[in-house]
Amino acid sequence: MSPAIIFDIQLVLGYVPWLLFVRSYVLPRLKSMDPAAAQRAIATLHSFRFFGLVFLVPGVVGSHLPAGFAAFAAYGDFATGVLAMLALLATRIRPLFWSLVVAFNAVGTVDILVDYYHGTQLGLAPLAGELGATYAIPIIYVPLLMITHVIAFYLLLRSISPAAGHATPVRMGV
C-alpha cells in the first residue's frame, strides 16, 4: 500500500474513534453543563493550537513539505489558539467572551477546512512523510478539533434557539 493511500485512510479513520468517544462520553457531559462552562471546556482544548506553529520548524517537518500548506496551517492554528485563550481570559465579560467563542470556532473551522483543501490541491498525501514529527497532528488531533468545533456551534445554536425547548438561553450581558 502506498504512503498516500495509508495517509488518506488514516485521515478518514481518525474521525471514527473520536466520534464514538465524543458521542458516548463528551457530548452528554457538555450538554448537561452551563453553556458558558461547556464553551470554556472546548476553548481550553483549542487553546493548545499554538502548537501548530511546529509546521514552520525546519527539522521537525521535511524540507519538501509544501510551504503553502505549512504556513497557512501554522498561522491558522496559532490564531485559533490565541482567540481561544482570549475567550478563556474574557469569561467574566460575557459579551466579549461569547464573541471570542464564535471567533475562535469560526477561525478554527475555516482553518481546518482550508488545510484539507490545500492538502488536496498541493498533493500532500504522497508527501505525507514530509510531515515528519507532525504526522500525528492531522491524523489524531485534527479530527477531535473539528468535532469539537461542530459541537461548539451546536451548543451555541441550542442555547440561543427558542425552538430548542428546554435549552438554557445564553445571557449575553455581564
Task: Report domain extents, the chain.
Answer: 3-163
pLDDT tens-place string over residues 30-88? 999 999 999 999 999 999 999 999 999 999 999 999 988 999 999 999 999 999 999 99
In degrees rounded to 5, what are phi and psi of residue 10?
-65, -35
**pTM listed for this prediction:** 0.90
Grid cell in block for residue 9: 485512510
CB within 8 Å of 6: residues ≥ 6 apart:
128
Residue 173 confidence class, pLDDT cut points 50, 70, 90: very low
pLDDT tens-place string over residues 103-149? 999 999 999 999 999 999 999 999 999 999 999 999 999 999 999 99
